[in-house]
Amino acid sequence: MTNITLNRLFSHIFCYLAFSAIGFGVCAQTAQFEYDLKITADPTKRAAYLKQSGEVPSPYEQVFSLVKGSMSVATVVDKVDIRKDQYHINSTGNLAAVLATVLNDQKLLRDSVGAITNVGMVTNTYQEKRGNTELLIARVEKNALNFYKISSRTPPVGSAPYSGRLLDMLTVGYQFIGRELPAKSVALPVTDGRSLKTYTLVRGEPWDFPFDGGNVRAIRYYKTTSKEDTATFEVWFSEKEHVPLRSVIGLNAQYGATIQVDLKKIPKFQ
């Protein structure tokens, strides 16, 4: 075996050991996750709420009025890039053909950039754009999480005190790759680009999850609710890879809708 071959072998071994030891390692790790997004909606509930409140639905929300019962409405692709001390997740949601035509090919665009630390991913900047709505930006600046619309070069439209750990709507699903799943409840500060909330995820039951033509052992985590925050959230992480197999978001009663996101296939990091 030549020295070049040996060097490559030792390099691959080193990368593997480093990745295993600290979760993300010193070598670039990239993977693409593809999901099917399904919505179960009752348009009459949303219509009644809008009539009572006088609110006007955003262009992106029109998808709820087009759903009758339960149907797959979009494909979401997350590109996850994990490096030694930083990460980048880019997500694009494309509507199904019929809905794309009706809604002028609106997309759900999200992007998260931050650091890799001993507690996992820590968000620095999160961006989200839903269809024709304004771009939302949440950015950590000094000791505050500032919120912007359209551009971070304009004055912030809001702010929240910040110190320590921060997640967003993308990193909350990939937070445990290469790390142990929490044995008990865990409190996670999460931003959606508009505000900062603390989600308490409770560890639920393990079960054999029907997936990709077979069964995959998964652990369920679910968010606690309150009178002020009635939206529900639950996610099933694969017991082996700790990736999100399914996420279910029960929107507030004013929307009359539930969003379910299912991973199509577990990818391998390269």
Residue 259 lies in a domain: yes
* Lowest-confidence segment of 19-33, 65-79, 200-214 by average pLDDT: 19-33
pLDDT above 70 as % of the chain: 81
User: With contact defined as beta carbons under 8 Å apart, do 87 and 53 qualify?
Assistant: no
Question: Measured between alpha carbons, how far is 193 from 47 in angstroms, rounded to an integer?
Answer: 26
Residue 269 lies in a domain: no
Residue 270 lies in a domain: no
Residue 180 lies in a domain: yes
Q: What is the pLDDT of residue 71?
A: 81
- Give me the number of domains the chain comprises: 1
Question: Measured between alpha carbons, how far is 244 from 192 in angstroms, rounded to an integer?
Answer: 18
Please, which residues have CB within 8 angstroms of residue 229's CB and are 6 or more apart in sequence? 197
**Mean pLDDT value across the chain:** 83
Q: E strands along 85-141, which residues?
A: 86-95, 107-117, 120-130, 136-141
pLDDT tens digits for range 117-173: 988 999 999 999 988 889 999 999 988 999 999 998 899 999 998 878 899 999 999
Q: What is the pLDDT of residue 252?
A: 65
Nearest alpha-carbon partner for 178 in 109, 117, 90: 117
Question: Measured between alpha carbons, how far is 65 from 47 in angstroms, rounded to an integer?
Answer: 8
Q: What is the pLDDT of residue 105?
A: 77
Residue 268 lies in a domain: no
Which one is predicted more confidently, 229 or 27? 229
Structural domain including 127 reads 3-263
Which one is predicted more confidently, 48 or 122? 122
Average pLDDT over residues 193-205: 92
